[in-house]
Structure 1
Amino acid sequence: MADLWQWVLDHGALVITYLYWALDIVLRLVSLIVVPRKRRPGSAIAWLLAIMVFPLVGFPLFLLLGRSQLPRRRLEKQRLVNRLMRVRAHAIPDSELDEDVPSWLQSAVRLNRELGAFPLTGNNSADLEIDYETSIARMAADIRTAHDSVHVLFYIMGLDETTEDFFEALGERADAGVRVRVLYDHWGAASHGKQYRAMRRKLDAHGIEHAPMMPIRLFRDGAFQRPDLRNHRKMVIVDGEIGWMGSQNMIASHYDKPSNIRRGLHWQETMARFRGPIVSELNLLFATDWYYESGEMLPEPTLVRPSPDTSGSYECQLVPSGPGFVAENNLALFNQLFYSATRRIVAVSPYFVPEESMLAALVTAARRGVEVELFVSEIGDQFLVFHAQRSYYTVLLEAGVRIWLYRSPTILHAKHVTIDDSVSVVGSSNMDIRSFLLQMECSLMIGGTDFMEKIREVESSYRAASRELTLEEWEKRPRAVHVLDNLCRLASAVV
C-alpha cells in the first residue's frame, strides 16, 4: 500500500490527467442518459452541447438548473391546493357563451377550465390603465376604500418616491383594522436592496402580514429547488370586490437602478381593473400563494363572495400557470388562440423567445392569411433574452408577421394578446420559455366588444410610439450581430 501511494505521489501529474479524462467520459455518458429524460428535444440538445463542450462546468450547472419541477413537498402542496381550488371554484357562477360565439372560443373556455380549474364568469366590468404613475395612484385610491381585506402580490415591490403613497394607503387601512396581506417574490424584491428593506420596515411598522414568495433556500421542502423558479404574478384585490392585474411591478418606472437612470430607461405597462365575479377568482389565486408561503389556508367565505357589482357585460376567465401545472397552461392557451384566429392576431410581449410550437402557430397563422402583429422593444434590458428574441425575427418577417419596435429609451413591458374581434388576454406572462416553464404566472381571458375597443386603443397608442421593422432593414444588420443573436438563442434553450 505504501509503495502504491508513493507511486501516486511520484506520478501525480499523470494520475490527475487520467482521473480528469475518466471523469470527463463518465459525465458525458451519464448526461446522455439523464439529460433527455422528460425534456423537450431543443432543451436537451442545448444542455448536451454545453456538457459535451465543458463537462466539468456543464454537468454541475445541469444539476443546479436542469430541473424545472418544484420539490416534492411543495408539489404536494400544489396538488392539494389545485384540488381545493377546483372545489371552491364551483361556488363561482358559470357563464354561458352566446350561441353566435365561435366554436373555437367555446373550446378555449373548456381547455382553460380543465387546465386551471376556474370557470368562465359573466357580468364583469373592466378598464385599462397604461400610465405608470396613474395606475399606482388608482390602486392606492382603491385600497383606501377597503373595509375588510386588502390582498397584494407583486413580483417586484419596493418603497420609493413613486410607490410611497401606495404603501401609505396600505398602512392607513391596516391601522384602521383592515386585514392587509402582502406577498412579493423573494429574488424580484430583494434584488432592490434599499427599496426592499424600506418596504419591509414600512409593512412591519403597521403590523401588516407579509411574506416572500419562493424564498431562495436551495434545499427547501426537503429537496433541492433551483433558485430561478420565481412567482411573477401581479395582483391587488380590495374587499373581494375590486381586482387589479397586469404587467406592472410596484416600483419606480426606472426600477431604481442607476444604470437605467443613466440610460434614461423607463418601463411602459398595461394594468387592468376589474369588478364583478372575476374578482373572486383573483382572490382564490392569491389565497393559493398565501398558503404556500404562510401555511395559512384562508377561509372560503372570505374569498368567494357574491359580487355587489354585476352590471358589466364582459365574460372573463382566469388561467394560472407555473411549475406546479404540468400542462404549461399559458402556452396551451396562447397556442389554442393563435391556431384558431381567422383574421387578426396582435401580441405584445417584452421578452419574446417562443417555444417551438408557438413559433409554428404564429408563422402558420401569417402564412394562411391572418394579419399578425408583434410588439417588442427597440432596445432590451436583458442581454441574453434581447438577443435571443432577435434571432426569431427573420422567420417571422419572411412569413409576413409585422414587427413593431417600441422606441427607446422606453422598455415596452406590457403583456397582452388580441384575437380577431373575439377575445383578449392580459396578464403577467411573457412569451418566453421562462414564463412557460419556470415562473408562476396568471393570464386573464376577456370577451366583450367594448373591452376589445379599449385594448385596440392601447394597441394604437403603442403603434404610434413604435417603428416597423422591415425584412430589408433586418437583413442589413452586421454579420457579427447575427452570430451573437443565434448564440444567445441557443443559450436560452438551456432550461
Structure 2
Amino acid sequence: MNFDLSWWQFAAMLVDYTIKFIMIGVVPGGRKPSSANAWLLLILLLPFVGLPLYLLMGSTFVSRRRHRIQVEARRNIDDINLGVPDLTAGLPAETAAVVRLNRALTGYPAVPGDVRALWTDYRKTMHRIASLIDDATTTVNIEIYAVAWDDTTDVVFQAIERAVARGVHVRLLFDHIGSQKYPGFRRLKKRLTDIGVDWHMMLPLDPLHGRWRRPDLRNHRKLVVVDSRVAFLGSFNLIDRGYLIRRHVRAGRQWVDAFVELEGSIVASTESMFAVDWYTESGEVIAQRAVEGSSASANVLQLVPSGPGYFTEPNLRMFVSMIHNAKERITLCSPYFVPEESLLEAITSACYRGVRVDLLVSAKSDQFMVHHAQSAYYEQLLKAGVRIWEFPAPFVLHTKFMLIDDHLPTSVAVVGSSNMDIRSFTLNYESSLFVASGSLLSMLSALGARYLAVSRELTLERWAQRPWYRRYIDNVLKLTSALQ
C-alpha cells in the first residue's frame, strides 16, 4: 500500500494536528468543562471551521477599556455604599445569606423600596412611562435592549420630545445589534437626534472604525429612571408587542412581559447601574448618590447586575442559592431556559427533596436554536418531577422571574431581564431585582397563577411521543448552547 503524501497534503496534516495540539491546552483555561468540551469537539472534528469560530466567538472577555471601567465602577459603588448596611433585620437567615452573597458579588446593598405597580399590559405600560416623562423636571434615563419608534411606542417618544423641549435632559441607551434588526432603525437614530435626545448605542459593532468585540455579546438590560425618583425594571423592550419583524407578524406572535414600577432607595441603585453603562458608552460621568438604607417601606429589594464584566456570574449564583433554600415550592418563568449544570442540579435536587417545581415556558419560542436546546432538557426535568407548563402560542412568554415558597415567611423572588440560560449568565449584561420581602412577592405570585391558569402542562407521556428527528435536533442544538 502506497502512503506517499504530496508536500501540500503533509503541510495540511501538520497544520491540522498542530492546531488540535495547541487548542487542547488553550481552550480549557478559565472555562467550564462543558464549554471547553463543546469547543474542543468542534475544533477537533472540524479544525478549519472550529478555530475561526473560536477566535471570533470563543472569548467572553470585554475590551480592556470596558473591563477597566467595570473595575473602577465596582470600587466607586463600594465607596458610595460603604456606610449603608444591608436591610436584613427581621429577614430569615436564608434570605439574609442571599443578600450577603449579592452584596459581595455586586456591591449593591439591600435597601427599602416602594413597589407602585407591576405592569403587564403593553399599551398601559407605555402610557404610564409617557405620563411620568411628561411630569419630569430634570432627567430621564432609559436603557433598553431593543428600541423602535412605532405606533405602540410613539406615545413615549412624543413625551420625550416634549420633555426635551422644556429642558429635561433625556439620555437613551439601546443595544446596537438588539435594535438594528427592527424596521426603521436608521430613521430612529435621525429622529432621536432631531428631537434632541442624548443617545448612544450599547456595545456598538463597527470594525471599520475600530469598534470590534465578540459579536454576540449583548446589553440586555431594561430600565427607565425619571428624575432620580421613580424607576422601572423588568423585561419590557421599547417596541411594539408584535416585534415588527415579518416572520413574527405572519405567525401572529405577541410578547408577554412585566415591568416593576419602583420608588424609594432602590431607585438610586438602579440609576447607579445606568450611570456605569452611560459612562462606558458616552464618556460622560453622572454623579452617583448614596443609597439611603433606612425607610418605613416593607419592601426589601436589592439590585443584582451581571454580565461579561462580572466573572463571578452573580445572577447564576443567586438563582442557585435561592433554589437550594426552597422548602415547598418554586415557580420559574423564563422564555429561554437552557440551564447551566449547577442550576440544573439545584432544580432537580429540589424535586427529589419534595419541593414542587413549576417551569413556565412558551409552547412555541421565537428562537429556533434556543427552543430546541432547552427542549433537550425536558425529559431529564420531567423525570425528576419538574412540572413544565407551556404558555399558549402565538404568545411569547417573555417575563422573567423566579418565586420561592410563596405564602411562607421565607418567600423570596427575583424579577428582571435575566433569562435562565447560559447566555444570560455569561454573554449578556443583565439587571435583576432580588425581592427579600414585601408586596412584590404577592404580585408575582398572582402573576404566576394567571400564567399557569392559561398554560398546558407538558407530561412525560406526551413528551415521549415526539418523533425521532425532533430528539436528534434537540440534542444537536443542546451542544451549541455550551459554546460560550
The equivalent residue for 1:485 is: 474
* 1:114 matches 2:104: yes
* 1:46 matches 2:38: yes
Measured after TM superposition, the shift of residue 198 of structure 1 is 2.9
SS at match of 1:144: helix
Distance, in Å, in 1 between the alignment partners of 2:208 and 2:190 is 28
Residue from 52, 75, 87 that aligns with 1:96: 87
Q: Is the 8 Å Cα contact of residues 269 and 414 (structure 1) preserved in structure 2?
A: yes
Q: Is the 8 Å Cα contact of residues 300 and 438 (structure 2) preserved in structure 1?
A: no
* Amino acid across the alignment from 2:145: Y
Normalised by the size of structure 2, how large is the TM-score?
0.95
* Amino acid across the alignment from 1:189: S
Measured after TM superposition, the shift of residue 76 of structure 1 is 1.1
SS at match of 1:292: helix
Q: Is the 8 Å Cα contact of residues 372 and 402 (structure 1) preserved in structure 2?
A: yes
SS at match of 2:358: strand
The equivalent residue for 2:457 is: 468
* Amino acid across the alignment from 1:430: N
Q: Is the 8 Å Cα contact of residues 428 and 442 (structure 1) preserved in structure 2?
A: yes
SS at match of 1:171: helix
Measured after TM superposition, the shift of residue 95 of structure 1 is 4.9
Q: Deviations over 1:195-249 (max 9, x none)?
A: 3223222211121111000111459889x62111110000000001100010111
* 1:20 matches 2:20: no
The equivalent residue for 1:3 is: none
The equivalent residue for 1:369 is: 354
Distance, in Å, in 1 between the alignment partners of 2:166 and 2:371 is 46
Work out which of the two has the higher radius of gyration on C-alpha atoms and give 1 or 2.
1
What pairs up with 1:310-349 in 2 under 5 angstroms? 312-349=297-334
Q: Is the 8 Å Cα contact of residues 185 and 212 (structure 1) preserved in structure 2?
A: yes
* Amino acid across the alignment from 2:64: R
* 1:441 matches 2:426: no
The equivalent residue for 1:62 is: 54
* 1:247 matches 2:244: no
What pairs up with 1:146-225 in 2 under 5 angstroms? 146-192=136-182, 194-218=183-207, 225=213
Q: Is the 8 Å Cα contact of residues 240 and 305 (structure 1) preserved in structure 2?
A: no
Q: Deviations over 1:457-483 (max 9, x none)?
A: 111111122100011111111111111
* Amino acid across the alignment from 2:313: E
Distance 1:19 1:417, change over 3 A: same
Q: Is the 8 Å Cα contact of residues 298 and 438 (structure 2) preserved in structure 1?
A: no
* Amino acid across the alignment from 2:181: S
Measured after TM superposition, the shift of residue 17 of structure 1 is 2.1
Distance 1:46 1:115, change over 3 A: same
The equivalent residue for 1:226 is: 214
The equivalent residue for 1:140 is: 130
SS at match of 2:184: helix
Distance, in Å, in 2 between the alignment partners of 1:131 and 1:282 is 23
Measured after TM superposition, the shift of residue 125 of structure 1 is 2.7
Out of 17-26 and 206-215, give the one that drifted further. 17-26
Distance, in Å, in 2 between the alignment partners of 1:272 and 1:94 is 24
* Amino acid across the alignment from 2:272: L
Distance 1:318 1:196, change over 3 A: same
Distance, in Å, in 1 between the alignment partners of 2:74 and 2:291 is 19
* 1:272 matches 2:260: yes
Distance, in Å, in 1 between the alignment partners of 2:176 and 2:81 is 28
Q: Is the 8 Å Cα contact of residues 155 and 231 (structure 1) preserved in structure 2?
A: yes
Measured after TM superposition, the shift of residue 304 of structure 1 is 4.6
The equivalent residue for 2:21 is: 29
Residue from 476, 491, 494 that aligns with 2:483: 494
What pairs up with 1:403-414 in 2 under 5 angstroms? 403-414=388-399
Measured after TM superposition, the shift of residue 273 of structure 1 is 0.5
Out of 415-424 and 449-458, give the one that drifted further. 449-458
Normalised by the size of structure 1, how large is the TM-score?
0.93
Q: Deviations over 1:337-359 (max 9, x none)?
A: 01111111101000000100000
* Amino acid across the alignment from 1:278: I
Distance 1:221 1:121, change over 3 A: farther
Q: Is the 8 Å Cα contact of residues 338 and 419 (structure 1) preserved in structure 2?
A: yes
Q: Is the 8 Å Cα contact of residues 124 and 311 (structure 1) preserved in structure 2?
A: no
Q: Deviations over 1:127-157 (max 9, x none)?
A: 2111122111111111111011100000000
The equivalent residue for 1:6 is: none
Q: Percent identity of the aligned residues? A: 39
Distance 1:248 1:477, change over 3 A: same
Distance 1:123 1:67, change over 3 A: closer
Out of 101-110 and 199-208, give the one that drifted further. 199-208
Task: Give structure 1 regions of 4+ aligned residues with deviation exceeding 6 angstroms.
Answer: 219-222
Distance, in Å, in 2 between the alignment partners of 1:96 and 1:271 is 24
For structure 2, the 5+ residue unaligned runs are none
Q: Is the 8 Å Cα contact of residues 316 and 343 (structure 2) preserved in structure 1?
A: yes
* 1:452 matches 2:444: no
Measured after TM superposition, the shift of residue 47 of structure 1 is 0.5
Q: Is the 8 Å Cα contact of residues 158 and 198 (structure 1) preserved in structure 2?
A: no
